[in-house]
């Protein structure tokens, strides 16, 4: 092992959480390059301290055998969350290598009951840990812009949902503030077990175009977008006589559409304006 790798390994073994923070500041390919020559058990330790979404991106730049070994050694709840965020191709290749004991368990982790929030949730979104600064958080979002949302969900090192912060807030607060100090910890979430019928009438859709989905332990599974709900509504309409569709549902749908247009306008204005840091106060805008 090279001297550089020996130093990296020693630092990871002594300071796994701090190592994870350093890895999160790098692009996923560079981070993967630093870990490929290290023992699987140590790589698993440090990636277990990373945000699940970032750990998944790093694993997509190592060999299938290495990724399988790392996921096998992660704590079960963390392993399933990371596994759900890998590409379908890599998931299938890993399941084949996990063997007859572990393979079926990971396959079941991907399968939520049909017509539930868990089955509709998109796990491939960027989340932020609460213990990084706003400046570091913005850098994380810039590296994965296609997976960033207007609402950025804050997930702790155990993959549990802790709060939410908006892109507008991140642009306006002090860059040295920690995410934990600017996030709103009163975040609305959807239980993974909610059925489609329950989702359509859920009251929080009137204020939010995207809602996080959590399991019974509060573990973040992904997000459910309004446009996905629209598809569900359309499928429900196709199975019903349009004349029997409740007028309240139609009015609700129209309200969501108008809210979505307003949200996009607000986001456009926020991204094109010059950020101003409030003196002596924090932005108090939150999800609810």
Report the CATH number that the domain containing residue 77 is assigned in CATH.
1.10.220.30
- Mean pLDDT in residue range 101-119: 76
Q: What's the chain's average pLDDT? A: 80
How far is 200 from 115, CA to CA, in rounded Å?
A: 11
Domain that holds residue 246: 119-272
Residue 1 has pLDDT above 50, yes or no: yes
Residues 34 and 100 in one domain: yes
How far is 236 from 166, CA to CA, in rounded Å?
A: 32
Residues 266 and 123 in one domain: yes
How far is 28 from 50, CA to CA, in rounded Å?
A: 12
Q: State what percent of residues in the chain have pLDDT above 90.
A: 31
Domains in the chain: how many in total?
Answer: 2
Q: What are phi and psi of 174, to 5 degrees?
A: -65, 125
More reliable by pLDDT, 184 or 280 = 184
Residue 189 has pLDDT above 70, yes or no: yes
Q: State what percent of residues in the chain have pLDDT above 70.
A: 79
Instruction: With respect to residue 278, please indicate whether it lies within any of the assigned structural domains.
Output: no
Instruction: With respect to residue 101, please indicate whether it lies within any of the assigned structural domains.
Output: yes
Residues 92 and 124 in one domain: no
More reliable by pLDDT, 172 or 232 = 172
Closest CA to 177 of 275, 264, 266, 56: 275
Domain of 228: which CATH number?
3.10.580.10
More reliable by pLDDT, 288 or 252 = 252
Instruction: With respect to residue 282, please indicate whether it lies within any of the assigned structural domains.
Output: no
What's the Rg (C-alpha) of the chain?
A: 20
Q: Tell me the pLDDT band of 264, cut-offs 50, 70 and 90.
A: very low
Residues 147 and 83 in one domain: no
Residue 38 near residue 64, CB atoms below 8 Å? no
More reliable by pLDDT, 201 or 165 = 165
Domain final residue pick, 86, 111, 136: 111
Residue given tokens 């390059």 in the structure block:
33
Residues 225 and 129 in one domain: yes
| Among 100-104, 128-132, 233-237, the range of highest mean pLDDT | 128-132
Q: Tell me the pLDDT band of 80, cut-offs 50, 70 and 90.
A: confident
Residues 40 and 180 in one domain: no
């Amino acid at each position: 092992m090279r001297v550089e790798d020996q130093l990296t390994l020693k630092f990871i073994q002594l300071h796994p959480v701090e190592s994870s923070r350093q890895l999160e500041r790098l692009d996923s390919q560079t981070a993967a390059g630093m870990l490929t020559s290290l023992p699987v058990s140590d790589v698993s330790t440090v990636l277990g301290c990373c945000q699940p979404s970032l750990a998944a991106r790093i694993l997509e730049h190592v060999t299938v055998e290495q990724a399988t070994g790392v996921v096998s050694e992660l704590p079960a709840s963390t392993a399933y969350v990371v596994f759900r965020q890998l590409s379908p191709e890599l998931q299938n290749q890993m399941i084949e290598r996990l063997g007859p004991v572990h393979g079926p368990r990971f396959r079941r982790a991907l399968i939520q009951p049909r017509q539930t929030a868990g089955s509709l949730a998109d796990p491939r979104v960027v989340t932020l840990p609460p213990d990084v600064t706003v400046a570091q958080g913005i850098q994380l979002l810039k590296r994965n812009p296609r997976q960033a949302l207007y609402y950025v969900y804050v997930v702790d090192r155990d993959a549990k949902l802790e709060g939410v912060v908006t892109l507008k807030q991140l642009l306006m607060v002090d860059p040295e503030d920690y995410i934990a100090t600017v996030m709103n910890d009163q975040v609305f979430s959807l239980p993974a077990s909610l059925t489609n019928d329950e989702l359509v009438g859920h009251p929080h859709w009137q204020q939010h175009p995207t809602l996080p989905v959590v399991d019974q332990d509060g573990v973040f599974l992904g997000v459910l977008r309004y446009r996905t709900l629209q598809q569900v509504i359309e499928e429900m309409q196709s199975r019903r006589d349009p004349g029997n569709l409740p007028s309240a549902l139609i009015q609700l749908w129209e309200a969501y559409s108008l809210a979505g247009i307003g949200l996009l306008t607000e986001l456009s204005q926020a991204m094109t304006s010059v950020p101003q840091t409030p003196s002596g106060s924090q932005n108090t805008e939150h999800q609810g």
